[in-house]
Amino acid sequence: MKVMIRKAGEQFTIYVAKKDLEEPIVEMEKPDLWGGWIKVANGWTLDLPDLPADTRLPITVDAKKRGAE
């Protein structure tokens, strides 16, 4: 699924246009965000692509959702 990731202050958020959903990221597998999983406030766990740590935000990426919706 395509998600936009942005950062406001120290908080990362995702936005999913097809669902008109914006949620904060509450947990990350890796401190630099990329190449691991993230947990979103609504309970979703998403796998993010492996990108360089200095990737500029906001950015739209293809994330894979784990588990059932």
For the entire predicted model, the pTM comes to 0.90
Is the confidence at residue 36, as pLDDT, over 80? yes
Residue 45 buriedness (CB in 10 A; 0-12 / 13-18 / 19+): middle
48 phi, psi to nearest 5 deg: -100, 155
pLDDT grade for 31, boundaries at 50, 70 and 90:
very high
Q: Position 52: which residue type?
A: P
The domain spans of the chain are: 2-66
pLDDT grade for 67, boundaries at 50, 70 and 90:
confident
pLDDT tens, residue by residue, 5-25: 999 899 999 999 999 999 999
Tell me how far CA of residue 33 lies from CA of 18, 39, 41, 68, in angstroms.
23, 11, 16, 23
Residue 17 pLDDT: 93
Which of 3.40.50.620, 1.10.10.410, 2.40.50.240, 3.40.50.300 is the CATH number of 2-66? 2.40.50.240
d(CA 34, CA 49): 6
